[in-house]
Amino acid sequence: MTDLPYRPNVGAVLFNQDGLVFVARRADMPNAEGPAGGWQLPQGGIDEGEHPRTAVLRELEEEIGTRKAEVIAEHPDWLTYDLPPDLLGIAWRGRYRGQRQRWFAMRFTGQDSDIRLDLDPHPEFDDWRWVKLSALPSLAVPFKLTIYQVLTQSFARYASP
């Protein structure tokens, strides 16, 4: 496992005008058990040669159907997680051990109707909602828990109206 690289990735902690955070349910996990239930923050791969800020806006458009957001902060460090053993060798066709992520706090500048999960012919998400930032760790799958805890602390100042 340690011989495999991390997949370069970006993630968005998208705040609305009320200071709540966007989370979406993975379409491939609609009946997931446990507190996370398949809910997560938008995230996605960085294309070769792509700047992380460009990638996060592209990923928002691809995953949730909108670019109506602006970057308000960037976590200063790359955060990594390793896949659990049952996903190693399966996720990303076995090419990566986990992800190396650059996270951004973003302010949503649109209306709820601007979020369109149905624009992609193979949507990653099938439902979404706004939650308190403090709820993120309770939604995290175990292998992403530490990252969600770090983000909750790092971006706490943006969780107000």
Q: Domains in the chain and their CATH numbers?
A: 10-84+101-156 (3.90.79.10)
Percent of the chain residues past pLDDT 90, beyond the cut: 76
- The whole model's pTM is what? 0.92
Question: What confidence category does residue 89 fall into, taking pLDDT thresholds of 50, 70 and 90?
Answer: confident
Instruction: Read off the pLDDT band of 93 (50, 70, 90).
Output: confident
- 152 pLDDT exceeds 60? yes
For 35-80, the pLDDT digits (tens) are 556 899 999 999 999 999 999 999 999 999 999 999 999 999 999 9
In DSSP terms, 40 is beta-bridged to 24
Q: Is the pLDDT of residue 34 over 60?
A: no
Read off the pLDDT band of 81 (50, 70, 90).
very high
**Which residue stretches of the chain are H helix?**
52-64, 136-139, 145-154
The overall average pLDDT reported for the chain is 91
103 vs 53: CA distance, rounded Å: 9
pLDDT at 53: 97
